[in-house]
């Protein structure tokens, strides 16, 4: 299945209605009523991350710095400079600093969807707009919310956070768990998160994430081609992963279409549930047949309770690749112009943007 992807983590409100996010609340304490425990949790940890930052250039000067950390931090610096100079990404997108965490994961996002409709459950707040996930730095808090949503009948999923962007509000640091990533994925993380700080349309998560993923993949290819040549080992690893991911995404889209047809049908609820389970089983069987999951993880995958949110979560990051590629070519393969063209999509009606993202050829 697709690798864990960087997510846009914004400290989110406690309700699904219009309650300001933490950055707004910091300036308007009176609005904290009803959300204090959650906001305190987010504010405390985000403050710790920001206050615990150290300049990467200063860390690299430390005597006795282990070679692996030194190599990874040098790579982060190179990727950031490349992102600004070659990909025309916003220099305020971060990665000038490093923060060491006291845990193996950065955080966890809770996502949910309707059980008999491919429709995400969303949270809303200013600047970021509507988003289909709620972030936590404490896994037990994420589990608690997931249980609440499950009791209400939603399909749910908790995912570990790979990375996050504050959209240029702060210079987001690279975090210690990320240094264990393979080099090409670490480079991609930098490009993905800096893309969020360059182009972002509040309320359209699929457009935002798919655009950032396109920049990430196009950037990795250009970075390693220019740095190491077409025979680059890192480039070959990336291309192999991308090919597998493309097969997986096509399979996800195939079964997502089946589910959409089912949910839109006139069948009664019981029959819809039965056919939903059947479609999920067929999907998992085809994944195994195509060897998209490592053999040692096949049994675990087959027993997993796959649901609507798994489809939505994956497709959220990989829609519109054909359309983005056309836009990139139209831009003369110039990233600065490409970002401008993507921003023009903001002026289009929501339905037109969806058509753009659903283009497959």
Is the pLDDT reported for residue 183 higher than 80?
yes
Is the pLDDT reported for residue 20 higher than 50?
no
> pLDDT category, 310, cuts 50, 70, 90?
very high
- Are 114 and 121 a contacting pair, CB within 8 Å? yes
Q: What is the pLDDT of residues 45-94, one digit of tens each?
A: 888 888 889 999 999 999 999 999 999 999 999 999 999 999 999 999 99
pLDDT, residue 3, reads 39
248: Cα within 13 Å, side-chain hemisphere? 20
Average pLDDT of span 295-308:
90
Element holding 341 (H helix, E strand): helix 335-344
More confident residue, 195 or 123: 195
More confident residue, 319 or 14: 319
Question: What is the Cα–Cα distance from 185 to 167, expressed in whole angstroms?
Answer: 20
Is the pLDDT reported for residue 16 higher than 90?
no
Mean pLDDT of the chain: 86
Using alpha carbons, select from 214, 112, 126, 138 the residue that is nearest to residue 167. 126
- Which residue carries 């609440």 as its tokens? 148
> Full-prediction pTM beyond 0.95?
no
pLDDT, residue 17, reads 30
162 by Cβ neighbours in 10 Å (0-12 / 13-18 / 19+) ranks as buried
Question: What is the Cα–Cα distance from 58 to 37, expressed in whole angstroms?
Answer: 35
> What is the side-by-side strand order in the sheet with 54-55?
54-55, 97-99, 174-175
Percent of the chain at pLDDT above 90?
66
> Residue 54 contacts by C-beta under 8 Å, 6 or more apart in sequence?
97, 98, 99
> What is the side-by-side strand order in the sheet with 155-160?
134-136, 108-113, 155-160
How many CB atoms within 10 Å of residue 17? 9
pLDDT, residue 128, reads 60
Q: What is the pLDDT of residues 209-244, one digit of tens each?
A: 999 999 999 999 999 999 999 999 999 999 999 999
pLDDT, residue 125, reads 60
pLDDT, residue 35, reads 60
pLDDT, residue 30, reads 33
Is the pLDDT reported for residue 324 higher than 90?
yes
Average pLDDT of span 114-138:
84
Is the pLDDT reported for residue 26 higher than 70?
no
Percent of the chain at pLDDT above 70?
88
């Amino acid at each position: 299945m697709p690798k864990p992807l960087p997510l846009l983590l914004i400290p989110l409100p406690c309700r699904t209605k219009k309650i300001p996010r933490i950055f707004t609340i910091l300036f308007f304490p009176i609005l904290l009523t009803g959300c204090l425990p959650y906001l305190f949790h987010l504010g405390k940890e985000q403050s710790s991350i920001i206050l615990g930052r150290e300049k990467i250039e200063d860390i690299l000067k430390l005597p006795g710095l282990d070679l692996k950390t030194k190599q990874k931090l040098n790579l982060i610096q190179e990727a950031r400079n490349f992102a600004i100079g070659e990909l025309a990404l916003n220099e305020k997108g971060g990665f000038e600093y490093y923060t060491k965490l006291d845990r193996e994961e950065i955080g966890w996002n809770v996502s949910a969807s309707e059980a008999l409709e491919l429709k995400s459950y969303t949270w809303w707040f200013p600047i970021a707009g509507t988003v289909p996930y709620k972030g936590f730095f404490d896994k037990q808090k994420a589990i608690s919310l997931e249980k609440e949503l499950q009791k209400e009948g939603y399909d749910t999923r908790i995912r570990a956070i790979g990375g996050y962007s504050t959209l240029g509000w702060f210079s987001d640091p690279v975090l210690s768990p990320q240094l264990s990533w393979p080099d090409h994925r670490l480079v991609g993380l930098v490009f993905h998160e800096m893309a969020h700080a360059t182009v972002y349309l509040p309320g359209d998560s699929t457009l935002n994430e798919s655009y950032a993923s396109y920049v990430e993949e196009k950037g990795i290819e250009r970075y390693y081609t220019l740095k190491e040549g077409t025979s680059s080992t890192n480039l070959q690893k990336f291309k192999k992963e991308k090919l597998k991911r493309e097969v997986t995404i096509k399979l996800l889209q195939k079964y997502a279409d089946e589910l959409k047809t089912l949910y839109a049908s006139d069948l009664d609820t019981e029959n819809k549930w039965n056919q939903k389970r059947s479609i999920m089983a067929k999907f998992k069987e085809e994944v195994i047949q195509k060897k998209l999951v490592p053999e040692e993880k096949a049994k675990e995958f087959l027993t997993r309770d796959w649901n609507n949110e798994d489809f939505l979560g994956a497709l959220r990051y990989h829609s519109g690749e054909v359309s983005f590629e056309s836009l990139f070519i139209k831009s003369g393969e110039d990233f600065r112009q490409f970002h401008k063209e993507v921003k023009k999509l903001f002026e289009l009606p929501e339905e037109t943007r969806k058509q753009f993202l659903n283009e497959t050829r």
